Structure 1
Amino acid sequence: MRIPFSATASAVALILALPGAALAQWPERPITLIVPAGAGGGTDATGRLLAAELEERLGQPVNVVNQGQGGGVIGFTTMTEAEPDGYTLGIAYNFAHYKPMGQGDFDVANMTPIAQYNFDPAGFHVRQDSEWDTITQALDDIKADPAAYDIACGGGCGGSWPIALATLLQEWDVDLSEVRMISGQGAAAALQEMVAGGFDVVPCSVPEAGSLIESGLVKGLAVFGSERLEAFPDIPTLEEETGLELELGAWRGLVGPAGLPDDVVDQLGAAMEDIYDDEEFQEAMTSRGFGLRWRDTAEFEDFLLNEEEQVRALIGTLEL
């Protein structure tokens, strides 16, 4: 028997009007959160905190997958090449150096920025017996003879800490092409080598140098943030010492692959804002030594585009 079209249309309309009959709403299954770093580090720790909070608000499991191979390139590649359906997200951090240094092939254009939740300012560290007592003294001497001083990159010279220092040196009119920046095995190793006389400067977060500062082997001359750190109140800010209003260091934020649907972005953005405003989340972050910084979707995208442009210009100047 042939059913009239009008009857069929009416039946479909009736079905769609029934409770639970609407199209499935995201998310309807578990979400994968790519952390482009190994287990146990700062990106992993903040990613796991975030995953637990997102689970609570989205009503689905959020499974953290660590992909730190290639210095994080594998993780960034996975999250930028994923299907833009909202089921693969990632924690992004300072990444703009990968492409110009031939390590990866991804840009801001390959991501959907959702929100920034973290910023950890860089610090400028020297040996306790260094002739420099202020960062302005150090900057003036480096400017006068850039090749005379050994500056540790910690890890690779395109990372967050050396790029923060390179940005400052450029602002101080230092000839970056003459600066001696040396790669190594991470901030901890660089700090130990500096104490032994191997480096003149190590840029890294203040907490990373904390034990050596407290033991009187290292002194921090400045923190590259807008205010002094509660745990290290004697270390002045960059602005206090130099008058430069710069905030430089490491950051982390939530992203998805390019083309993420607007409704998914809106839902994630709202969840992230709710998480960021939660006092328990803020306490969990600060008690572990992580700084807080909020940028919503639009602000985060603008920040990433600016970061990409500035960092890649510096990479070219440094000839890395």
Structure 2
Amino acid sequence: MQRRPLLRVLAVAAAASAVGGLALPAFAQANYPTKPITLVVPFPAGGTTDIVARVVADKLGQELGQPVIVDNRGGAGGSIGTAYLSKAAPDGYTLGIATASTHGINPAVYPKLSYDATKDFTTITNLASVPNVMSVNPAVKANDMKAFIALAKSEPNKIAYGSAGNGSVSHMMGELFKMSSKTELLHVPYKGVGPALNDALAGQVQVLFDNLPSSLQFIKSGKLRALAVAAPKRVPALPNVPTFAELGLPEVNDSAWFGLIAPAKLPADIQARLNAAAVKVLAMPDVKQKFEELGATPVGDTPAHFAAQITSEVAKNKRVAAAAKISLD
């Protein structure tokens, strides 16, 4: 007599279990995040990428209610950490920083790159834009860009520019400048921007293409002379230095950028949650102040806009790499 009610109870319990099993992912997703988040920085600690990441990570963790822990995984121009991120679970608990190197240059110069910059990631937002700068040693007899281009054209391949290494942002910027200005400069690659900067200060190389934060103090002290900045408008810290666009070289006018990404197939509601939180963080006065000290500008755009920027960057750098015959193993 008890068999039928017992079967009914078991059936109801099984159904409830099934429904609970189906509902659990949605429930967990709606309450995201429920544990700490890892933010992969594909460069060593101390650089501009790491600094931007840590400024954002601290505030993003407060906004999300869970710690955001920075994990530096440098090497191979950022490709090691970026490849690691591409293979992580798309659950919102492993995020990363995309840069002009990892998602613009690397796809153009590494034929065997282990990730696809436009397919293997979910964009969240571009966090910050950082001006680039072209500066010269004060011994160079050119006080402005017009004079420098005339000098370079009169001495093909006799003026050397230093870069952070083959395939680096500064290398690609130098090659793009050469193409746009129709000049021939000698490229001298270094193992990082530090040694290149030291030799530019010493006059071993005459020209340096660099992110503004690392060169700014030397420009202000007169140890380097800035000829142009790559930025949407003039930089407040250097109001007398024109942009490349003002000088008729708009192709060279792209700033460095640092964006927030996740592995491909991140659920749309988590993507939206992260975008909203990051945009809110970028609007905070203390974050704006810290970025201003770096010479950076907060961005906070939509995922679609950031994705379009990455696609454009890859295409641009492939053109430059092909023209300059840059290909790295």
Q: TM-score, normalised by structure 2?
A: 0.84
Aligned equivalent of 2:282, options 276, 280, 287: 276
Q: Is 1:105 equivalent to 2:105 in the alignment? A: no
Q: Is the 8 A contact 1:164 1:249 kept in 2?
A: no
Q: Is the 8 A contact 1:127 1:217 kept in 2?
A: yes
Q: Is 1:162 equivalent to 2:171 in the alignment? A: yes
Label 1:275 to 1:47 Cα distance change in 2 as closer, same or farther (>3 A): same
Name which of structure 1's ranges 250-259 and 22-31 shifts more when overlaid on structure 2.
22-31
Label 1:101 to 1:11 Cα distance change in 2 as closer, same or farther (>3 A): closer
Deviations 1:116-170 (A, max 9, x none): 01111111111112111111332344356542321111x1232222322322332
Q: Which residue of 2 aligns with 1:249?
A: 255
Deviations 1:6-59 (A, max 9, x none): 97289839x97xxx9972232222111101111222211111121112211222
Q: Which residue of 1 aligns with 2:12?
A: 8
Deviations 1:204-224 (A, max 9, x none): 133322333233332111111
Q: Which residue of 2 aligns with 1:208?
A: 214
Q: Is the 8 A contact 2:227 2:242 kept in 1?
A: yes
Label 1:140 to 1:257 Cα distance change in 2 as closer, same or farther (>3 A): farther
Label 1:220 to 1:24 Cα distance change in 2 as closer, same or farther (>3 A): same
Rounded to whole Å, the distance in 1 between the matches of 2:25 and 2:267 is 22
Q: Is the 8 A contact 1:142 1:149 kept in 2?
A: yes
Identity %: 29
Name which of structure 1's ranges 203-212 and 253-262 shifts more when overlaid on structure 2.
203-212
Q: Is 1:65 equivalent to 2:36 in the alignment? A: no
Rounded to whole Å, the distance in 2 between the matches of 1:260 and 1:146 is 50
Q: Is the 8 A contact 1:161 1:250 kept in 2?
A: no
Rounded to whole Å, the distance in 1 between the matches of 2:237 and 2:53 is 23
Letter in 2 for 1:23: F
Letter in 2 for 1:315: A
Q: Which residue of 2 aligns with 1:265?
A: 271
Rounded to whole Å, the distance in 2 between the matches of 1:47 and 1:207 is 15
Structure 2: gaps spanning 5 or more residues: none
Label 1:294 to 1:27 Cα distance change in 2 as closer, same or farther (>3 A): closer
Q: Which residue of 1 aligns with 2:300?
A: 294
Label 1:318 to 1:245 Cα distance change in 2 as closer, same or farther (>3 A): closer
Q: Is 1:76 equivalent to 2:75 in the alignment? A: no
Q: Is the 8 A contact 1:206 1:220 kept in 2?
A: no
**Deviation at 1:74?**
1.9
Rounded to whole Å, the distance in 2 between the matches of 1:97 and 1:288 is 23
Rounded to whole Å, the distance in 1 between the matches of 2:130 and 2:226 is 15
Letter in 2 for 1:230: P
Label 1:106 to 1:21 Cα distance change in 2 as closer, same or farther (>3 A): closer
The DSSP-based 3-state class of the residue aligned with 2:129 is strand
Aligned equivalent of 1:23, options 27, 33, 37: 27
Name which of structure 1's ranges 58-67 and 242-251 shifts more when overlaid on structure 2.
242-251
**Deviation at 1:184?**
0.5
| Pairs aligned (count) | 312
Rounded to whole Å, the distance in 2 between the matches of 1:144 and 1:80 is 47
Label 1:257 to 1:145 Cα distance change in 2 as closer, same or farther (>3 A): farther
Deviations 1:234-271 (A, max 9, x none): 22222333363753232100001111111111111111
Q: TM-score, normalised by structure 1?
A: 0.87
Query: What is the RMSD computed on CA atoms of the aligned residues?
Result: 2.8
Structure 1: gaps spanning 5 or more residues: none
Name which of structure 1's ranges 54-63 and 237-246 shifts more when overlaid on structure 2.
237-246
Q: Is the 8 A contact 2:77 2:168 kept in 1?
A: no
Q: Which residue of 1 aligns with 2:135?
A: 125
Q: Is 1:314 equivalent to 2:324 in the alignment? A: no
**Deviation at 1:185?**
2.9
Rounded to whole Å, the distance in 1 between the matches of 2:8 and 2:283 is 55
